[in-house]
Amino acid sequence: MPLSYRLDAEDRVVALGGAWNRMSWENGGPDDASSNVLDHSLWRFISDPAMSGFLRQVFQLSRDTGQAATLDYRCDAPGLLRYYRMIVTPKSDGILVVDHEPLAEALACTSIRLPPGESAVRICGQCSRVALKGWHWRRFPALPRPRDLPRKVVLCNDCRNPSRDPADASASTRP
Ligand SMILES: [Zn+2]
């Protein structure tokens, strides 16, 4: 989901746009996060010194040159790998608008669990998708090691039926 915030010349968050509360909740935080962010310095929320130092440089450069800056980053939630693009747009009086656009997301292999009453997860031997609930197949960027999770190699419905384009199968892999 796209998110944005507006910073004044002192990097104080003066406006928010997008589903901040839902994002916070997905990340394991409170569901009323936006009220805790507004009117506070952005640096209060970025605890990693390397990250805040890097962002300060990006903001400074953008203010000095009047040019927008773009950087891609990863921001995971529990069980979910997420990639975002950050776009910093300078406005007048040192104001910056910072947009965060989702690029891609994928389920993490830690969200693969044994279905109740089964002794192994079913993994398609051809496309490597995993049957999560019944015969609902999802693709994961990585799979747990066999000794961590018992598995049974089978063929999914798409791979068993060669008349279907395997590319169609990827459409059902988004969360
Ligand atoms: Zn398959």
Read off the pLDDT of residues 26-78 as tens digits, 9 standing for 90 and up: 777 777 878 888 999 999 988 889 989 999 999 999 999 999 999 998 888 77
Query: Ligand 1 center to residue 91 CA distance, Å?
Result: 50
Query: Ligand 1 center to residue 110 CA distance, Å?
Result: 20
In tens, the pLDDT along 84-107 reads: 999 999 999 999 999 999 888 888
Residue found by looking up tokens 């049957």 in the block: 131
Query: Ligand 1 center to residue 171 CA distance, Å?
Result: 13
Query: Ligand 1 center to residue 84 CA distance, Å?
Result: 29
**In the chain, which residues fall in CATH 3.30.450.20?**
3-107
Q: What is the pLDDT of residue 155?
A: 93
Query: Ligand 1 center to residue 166 CA distance, Å?
Result: 8
Query: Ligand 1 center to residue 107 CA distance, Å?
Result: 17
Query: Ligand 1 center to residue 157 CA distance, Å?
Result: 7
* Fold that domain 3-107 belongs to in CATH: Beta-Lactamase (3.30.450)
DSSP string over 8-41:
-TT-BEEEEEE-HHHHHHHTTS-TTHHHHHTTSB
CA distance 59 to 46: 14
Question: Which tokens sit at 102?
Answer: 């989702």
Percentage with pLDDT > 90 across the chain: 42
Give the Cβ contact number of residue 52 at 10 Å.
Answer: 16
Query: Ligand 1 center to residue 113 CA distance, Å?
Result: 19
